[in-house]
């Protein structure tokens, strides 16, 4: 399964900025590799994207890319079963807007 997420926070800048879109999958979620971007769900904060900084047998440690912000999930240990998605692709906001404008022009010319 694939899912598209829209980034709203700043803790993963510069790799994922507010307004960027993330394409993620459940297919590769069993392959936890160091430095891989993963998405999990938190009841208070909704979907969270973080980088795996350390992986053990049953859990791993998360980190934020943006060290100038504070995130309650930075250095958090999470059970591997809590991972919902692995990030495949990040579409920058600027590129997404270009695609939308192209689509609008294409439809207009049909």
The pLDDT tens digits of the residues spanning 51-94 come to 999 888 788 899 999 989 888 998 889 988 898 999 999 999 87
CATH number for 28: 2.10.109.10
The domain containing residue 83 runs over which residues?
2-108
Angle 13-30-75 from CA coordinates, rounded to 5°? 40
Could you tell me the pTM of the whole model?
0.80
The pLDDT tens digits of the residues spanning 14-40 come to 999 999 999 999 987 777 677 899 999
- Other CB atoms within 10 Å distance of the CB of residue 74: 18
Confidence of residue 48 (pLDDT cuts 50, 70, 90): very high
Provide the domain count of the chain: 1
- Predicted local distance difference test score (pLDDT) of residue 103: 66
- Predicted local distance difference test score (pLDDT) of residue 16: 95
Distance CA 110, CA 4 (A): 28
């Amino acid at each position: 399964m694939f899912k598209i997420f829209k980034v709203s926070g700043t803790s993963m800048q510069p790799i994922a900025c507010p307004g960027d879109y993330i394409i993620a999958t459940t297919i590769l979620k069993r392959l936890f590799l160091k430095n891989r971007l993963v998405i999990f769900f938190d009841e208070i904060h909704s979907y969270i994207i973080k980088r795996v900084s350390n992986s053990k047998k049953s859990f791993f440690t998360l980190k934020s890319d943006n060290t100038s912000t504070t995130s309650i999930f930075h250095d958090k240990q999470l059970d591997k079963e809590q991972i919902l998605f692995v990030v495949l692709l990040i579409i920058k906001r600027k590129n997404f807007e270009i695609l939308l404008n192209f689509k609008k022009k294409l439809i207009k010319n049909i």
